[in-house]
Structure formats: structure tokens, C-alpha cells
Amino acid sequence: MDQKLESYFKAAVSVDNVVFGFDNSGLKVLLIYRGADPYRNCWALPGDLIALDTDLTSSAEKVLQDLTGLEKVYMEQIHTFGKVNRHPYGRVFTVAYFALIKTEDYHVHASSWAEEAAWFPISDIPDLPFDHNEILEYAKNMLKSKIRRQPIGFELLPKYFTLTELQNLYESILETQFDVRNFRKKILSLDYLTDTGMKQSSVTHRPAKLYKFNTKKYNNLVHSGFSVELNFPLFPTENLTV
Amino acid sequence: MDQKLESYFKAAVSVDNVVFGFDNSGLKVLLIYRGADPYRNCWALPGDLIALDTDLTSSAEKVLQDLTGLEKVYMEQIHTFGKVNRHPYGRVFTVAYFALIKTEDYHVHASSWAEEAAWFPISDIPDLPFDHNEILEYAKNMLKSKIRRQPIGFELLPKYFTLTELQNLYESILETQFDVRNFRKKILSLDYLTDTGMKQSSVTHRPAKLYKFNTKKYNNLVHSGFSVELNFPLFPTENLTV
DNA sequence: CGAATATATTGTAAAATTTACAATAATTAA
DNA sequence: TTAATTATTGTAAATTTTACAATATATTCG
């Protein structure tokens, strides 16, 4: 019985982070260049085995900070992957998290055994070790469905942003396009954006108004049971193909 | 380094299943009476440590079948819980799953080290060991948000059911009430129910029509991008309390 | 057989939301 | 001043949601 019990306690658990960022050229994912075995010398999700004296949630934050220098970012658990042979060193379960960061506010720098850290466009991801491509796919879908229900997109934008930038973000993630007028009407009707009164500068055309996400207003809305789901109007023929 | 690596491989992983059932008296959860340490002699979620030669998904199914006799049921991963001291025997991460079953179609029988298995009304759950109450809470919320987006409720009903039964199910899970006319209009407009032409028998009043869930129609709808979300009309004042 | 009882079933008008669609405004550069 | 570029805005039609109650169909009982 004790023997039996011991046999269960031979697994390791790791955390793999899917870190999304966004800039004008679209949605990005942060990868590190592995400087440690296994799969040394290839690009992978920033992830590592968990020390057994640390809570799971803290571990996710710690792993991210150790490898990329990022801290205090929005993180959420995605899914746990546990195929028998997913890791060459033994039985390793991995808990995947996603993180959203404002690329402008953070400087990413590889550390610990990560030799490099770099942003890859979501549409151009190399072959990754372990089951990391599967994890990434899962994360993309989760982001996609999540952003339709909660305003997490603001975690990816700078503090002040234009409605055009916001629309670009939604279009990138949802891989679709919205009518400009309807998008603005809808997002403004949700009533959690504040017009800062400021405008874009140093652009060579009509400057756009700068908005910010109003957390307080948003929380009030949620607290009073108001729906903050987007349910966006799509372009015609976009959603009904028979 | 090898020493270091070894220190990671001393965790265990368990699976805990939140099995939901439904009958006329409401939503139920399946608990087992533990006949093994730790927490022997108390009610708990059916869960167990995972053998390290079995995939995570298979383990979830196996654990459920071993303890309760249930197999081939609708299961989905919920979340992974990993506080350091959640298990008295060592570091145990647990992956929670939920399962939906048609209580009429299955006979639940405790086996392995489970001494009993019984259905508990969702509103009357005892104190559970480990973090099982937290897991259950998590599962309830997941079921709640999930059923608003996908017709998973049919997994809880018998093959043929009345619209009243369906409405009761939705009302139980969502803890709200719907207007009869609006509920029927909406659910029928979704176009994945088939009127079987049969009627209820042995009731002492007007018998209701029996419907069934039409998987093929549903898949066609989903495949053509049609929205199957419910977005139910609620009773007035139900969702805006300020 | 008729009445009482119990649940099932259905329609419609008003309000709100979504959808489709293009002209005008504000800035810089030439 | 004009050209170029992006930002901003309105409205009518269609669809969906909402609020609301009368009628239908079965069984049981007297």
C-alpha cells in the first residue's frame, strides 16, 4: 500500500505561458530560445517545471518572470495537458496559462536559461517542442472566445488608445472585420470607455481622439448585472455561408 | 543538476470529477463516501490519484468508472488546482472535470474504495474534504456559463423530454426563471429540437409533446456559423438591480 | 356524463437592438 | 490652396427581445 502510494508521487508539473502582445502589425506571441535541455536551441513557449513548495498560481507568475522579466501581468489558466509521453524526462503534466501584456509598457529580456525572448506574429509561428503548438492553438481559441465576453482586450493596448486601434485589435483576434460605424456605436454603448479629451499627435492626418478603459465604470456595470458581451455585428455574408 | 531535476519529479496528480445529474427535483451532484485514507468516512467528489502510465483524459474517465460505474459520459476539463498544502500526503495537483449524465440511463454503483455513491441536491452539499467545495463552486459556475452558449443541457435529460422539463433544467442551472412563451419561442427558433410526435403518458393532466435533441441539425447549424447561443430573455427586474 | 383540476400551448404589439450603408471633418504635406 | 489620409458620424429597415393572458387537452371525481 505504501509502495503503491509512492508510485503515484513521481510526476512533475510544469507551467507553460502563452503571452500575447499586440502592436500595429497585429497579434504577437512571446517565445524564448531554449538554452537548456531538453530541446535545447529551439524556440518554445516560456515554461518550466514547478518547484514543489510553490503554489500553482505563484509558479505561473514566477516562471514567466524568471524567463522573460515580465511581472504583474494579466494571467489566466487555460487548460492542463497530460499525455503520457509529452516530455522526454518522465511524466510531466503541464498547466497552460495565457498572459496579456501591453508591449509598450514592458521591456522583455530573456533571463535564467532562456537565451533570447522575441515576439512572433501569430500567423507565423515555427514548429515548437513538446505539445506547445497544440497549447498555442488552444490559447488562441480561448482568447477568441474570451474577448467576445469580457473586455480583456484593453490589457493588450496602451493606457490611451484610439477607437481605430481598438477595432484593429478586435479584428486581429477575431479574424474578421467590422463596419466602422457599428463597431463604434456598440463599443461606446457599453459605456466603459472614457474620452480623455486628448488627441493623437505626430500623425500626418486627422488625429484621433484618445480613449481609456474605465475600470470603475466597468465594475459597476458588471456588478449591476449589465451585459458587457459584445455580440458584434459582422459584415454581411461573413457568418452565414450555408 | 540531476539532483535538481529529481526534486521536481515528486508530485502526484489526481482527478476530481464533478458529476451533475438532473431530475424533477432539480440539479444534483454525485458524491462518494470515502472508504480509504485520507479523509476516510466522509462524502467527497469522486476523485483519485492518477497512475503515471495513463493519459490525463483517460485517467479522468477511468477514475469515474472505477468509483461509480459510470462510463461513456460527457466530460470536460474544468480547471487545475494546485495549492501547496491541499493534500496531506504530499504535493498533489488535481485536475477537475465535470461530467453530465442522464440519471435515468445509468445505474450508479459505488465500487473500488468508494463505499457509497449518492446524489446530493446542489443546494444542500455537505462540507467536503480537500478543496472539493471550491472545486464544486467552480464547476457550478462553469456549467452556468457553458449552458448559455452550448446546448449541453440535453446531456442531462432523457432522450425524449418535454419543453417544460427543458425549461426547468435551464431554470435550475441558471437560478432564474423564464417566461414560458418566450422560452419556447427562443429554444424552438434555434432549430435543433425535433418534435417526435409522441406525447407524455400516465400524467393526470394534458400530456405534453415529447421532443428530442437533433444532433445532426445542431452540427449543421454550428458548421454554417449559425449562433446557437441562447441569450435568454429574463423576467423583468431580474438582471438590472443597480 | 359534466365539472373540477392541472398543466400545455400559443400570439401580438411595443421596445430595443442590430444591420446596412456613405458623406463630411480635421489634420499634415506639398 | 489643394491633395492626401484617416476620423467621425446618422438613419431607416430588419430583426430580436420583451411583456403580457387566454385557450386547449388531458385526467379524476362526483
Q: Closest nucleotide to A203's CA, by C1' atom?
A: C28
The 10s digit of each residue's pLDDT in A61-101 is: 999 999 999 999 999 999 999 999 999 999 999 999 999 99
Residue B237: closest C-alpha in chain A: A225
Cell numbers 464547476: residue: B139
> For chains A and B, what is the number of CB pairs under 8 angstroms?
108
- Residue at shortest CA–C1' distance from C18: A233
- Rounded distance in angstroms from the CA atom of residue A180 to the C1' atom of nucleotide C19: 12
Q: Would you say residue A182 has pLDDT above 90?
A: yes
> C-alpha cell of B232?
435568454
pLDDT in tens, B109-158: 998 899 999 999 999 999 999 999 999 999 999 999 999 999 999 999 99
The residue type at B55:
D
CB contact under 8 A, B52 and A95: no
Backbone dihedral region for residue A76 (phi beyond 0: left; psi -120 to 50: alpha; all else: beta) = beta
Helix, strand, or coil here: B43? strand
Return the pLDDT at B239.
35
Whether residues A52 and B5 touch (CB distance < 8 A) is answered with: no
Residue B217 has a pLDDT of 87
Residue B241 has pLDDT above 50, yes or no: no
Strand partners, B98: B18, B76
Residue B106 CA: distances (Å) to CA of A20, A67, A223, B98: 44, 49, 40, 16
Per-residue pLDDT, averaged over B34-45, amounts to: 96
> Longest C-alpha distance within chain A, in Å?
75
The length of chain A in residues reads 242
Residue A233: cis peptide before it, omega within 30 degrees of 0: no
CA–C1' nearest nucleotide, residue B205:
D26
Between CA B142 and CA B212 the distance in angstroms is: 24
In SS3 terms, chain A reads as CHHHHHHHCCEEEEEEEEEEEEECCEEEEEEEEECCCCCCCCEECCEEECCCCCCHHHHHHHHHHHHHCCCCCEEEEEEEECCCCCCCCCCEEEEEEEEECCCCCCCCCCCCCEEEEEEEECCCCCCCCCCHHHHHHHHHHHHHHHHCCCCHHHHHCCCCECHHHHHHHHHHHHCCCCCHHHHHHHHHHCCCEEEEEEECCCCCCCCCEEEEECHHHHHHHHHCCCCCCCCCCCCCCCCCCC
Tell if A167 CB is < 7 Å from nucleic strand D: no
Is 80 exceeded by the pLDDT of residue B3?
no
- Sequence-ordered list of residues with C-beta below 8 angstroms from that of B176, at least 6 positions apart, any chain: B234, B235, B238
Query: Which residue's CA is nearest to the C1' of nucleotide C26?
Result: A206
Coil, strand or helix at B137: helix
Residue of B nearest to A227 (CA): B239
Q: At what angle do helices A163-174 and A180-189 cross, to 10 degrees?
A: 100
| CA–CA dist A218, A151 (Å, integer) | 9
The arithmetic mean of pLDDT across residues B156-185, rounded, is: 95
Residue of B14, B40, B93, B174 for testing the chain A interface, max A β-carbons within 10 Å: B93
Paired strand residues for B193: B213
Cα dihedral A124, A126, A130, A134 in deg (nearest 10)? 20
Mark yes or no for CB contact B77/A80 under 8 Å. yes
* Least Cα separation, residue B93 to chain A (angstroms): 8
Residue type, A239: N
Q: What is the pLDDT of residues B71-119, one digit of tens each?
A: 999 999 999 999 999 999 999 999 999 999 999 888 899 988 999 999 9
pLDDT in the model for residue B233: 55
Cβ atoms of residues A14 and B13 within 8 Å: no
Q: Which residue has the higher pLDDT, A134 or A220?
A: A134
Nearest nucleotide, C1' to the C-alpha of A185? D9
Nucleotide nearest to B180 (CA to C1'): C9
Distance separating the N- and C-terminal Cα atoms of chain B: 58
User: Would you tell me which residues 3-62 of chain A have a C-beta closer than 8 angstroms to some C-beta of chain B?
Assistant: 5, 7-13, 49-57, 59
Is the separation of the CB atoms in B213 and B169 below 8 Å? no
> How far apart (Å, rounded) are the C-alpha atoms in residues B113 and B39?
12
Helix or strand (DSSP H, E) at B5: helix B2-8
Nearest-CA neighbor of A50 among B152, B110, B82?
B82
Does the pLDDT of residue B242 top 60, yes or no? no
H/E stretch holding B66 reads helix B56-68
A208 CA to D25 C1' in angstroms comes to 65
B135 touches chain A (CB under 8 A): no
Q: For residue B91, what is the nearest residue in chain A, using CA coordinates? A: A52
pLDDT (0 to 100) of residue A233: 57
Residue among B49, B56, B227 whose CB faces A8 most closely: B49
Window 189-228 of B, Cβ < 8 Å to A: 224-227
Q: How far is A110 from chain B (nearest CA, A)?
A: 21
Q: Which residue of B has its CA nearest to A86?
A: B55
Q: Which residues does chain A have within 8 Å of residue B240's beta carbon, measured at their own beta carbons?
A: 224-226
Q: Do B9 and A241 touch (CB under 8 A)?
A: no
Mean pLDDT of chain B: 91
Pick from B53, B225, B239: which is nearest to A239 by CB?
B225
**C-alpha distance from residue B123 to each of A159, B23, B140, B192 (Å):** 43, 14, 11, 31
Nearest to B166 by CA among B216, B117, B211, B119: B211
**CA A118/CA A21 separation, integer angstroms:** 11
Of B226 and B214, the structure prediction assigns the larger pLDDT to: B214
pLDDT class of A22 with cuts at 50, 70, 90 = very high
Amino acid A234: pLDDT = 52
In this predicted structure, the answer to whether residue A239 has a pLDDT above a threshold of 90 is: no
Quote the minimal CA–CA distance from B182 to chain A in Å: 19
CB of A231 lies under 7 Å from some atom of strand C: yes
- Count other C-beta atoms under 10 Å from residue A95's C-beta: 26
Closest to A229 (Cα-Cα) out of A150, A175, A174: A150
B144 sits in which H/E element: helix B132-147
pLDDT digits (tens, 9 = 90+) for A203-220: 999 999 999 999 998 998
pTM over cut 0.90: yes
